Structure 1
Amino acid sequence: MSMDMTVPCDNGLINIRVGAIILKDGKFLMVGNNIRPEYLYSVGGRIKFGETAEEAVIREVYEETGVRMEVDRLGFINENYFYGDAEYNLGKLIYEISFFFYMKVPEDFEPECNSFTEDEHEEFLKWIAPDDPVKFYPEFFRTELLHPVNVVKHFLTDER
């Protein structure tokens, strides 16, 4: 189980990833990195071949926060078309399927980030409110996390 679920397809890539929804005191936890600190993204990452989506989100949360959490429920599925901006995928069309899970957050949750991006840039954690003007992915968190519901919602984002 060491290969990320990134598969070449025509001139682009297909990614299968997970994201964690970690809520506390009206805010949610996001990740940034020292290369693009103005842009935040959900705790999570690519599923590794042989993992289930739930196994992957538990692993990713542990890697990025140092805390092993349980999954509460699946909240969102997002299909996303965008162009890569990292060295290895620059300008390539990427089709990404993401599963976003609500996590069971312990009362004493104190995350500590010791993770790095795939191209070895240091990451950091940041609590944000839905109305925070900072840019983050996925954008639908801004409205959907104000009033969580107990159904799975599907979103399509297309930046082509």
Structure 2
Amino acid sequence: MRTITAVRVWLVVFVVGLVLSGLTAFPLEAELRWASQALHSTSAPALLPDLVHWVDRVRDALTDTGTRYPFLAYGTDWLAFAHLVIAVAFIGPLIDPVRNIWVIRFGMIACAGVIPLALIAGAVRGIPIGWQLIDMSFGVFGVIPLLFAHRLTMRLEAAEELTRG
């Protein structure tokens, strides 16, 4: 596979993750309702009672909040929008990764920032450590395609310099 194609494949993997993450932030109440139903239709309540309790608690909070204070969901709408906007920023590296390597680096920095945010805000907000680990995994797994894209982009840059020089 040519290097430019490989860079684009890794960037598309990252962008798809951002878009899916963004789109799933809109229907949170329905998603938690489905997750709770799915967990209760399995042996999860006996095997993973803390997980089931947490999902049910979050579902109940979203349902109650959605009924009483629907405007609070506007915050997660903006979160979803931010994911989609960040995904759009990666169009530049898809077109010209060498010229737009800063966007790839920005994405890597953002992925690194997920970890302290999850640990600090999670502790402040009373989020169970297991859930904080899940949140941190977005940064850990998100950086992987960016690391590959960055490394390959550096190769492209070196090849361009050889061609020019």
TM-score, normalised via structure 2 length: 0.19
More strand by share: 1
TM-score, normalised via structure 1 length: 0.20
Tell me: higher relative CO, structure 1 or 2? Use CA pairs within 8 A at least 6 residues apart. Answer: 2
More helix by share: 2
Give 1 or 2 for the bigger CA radius of gyration.
2
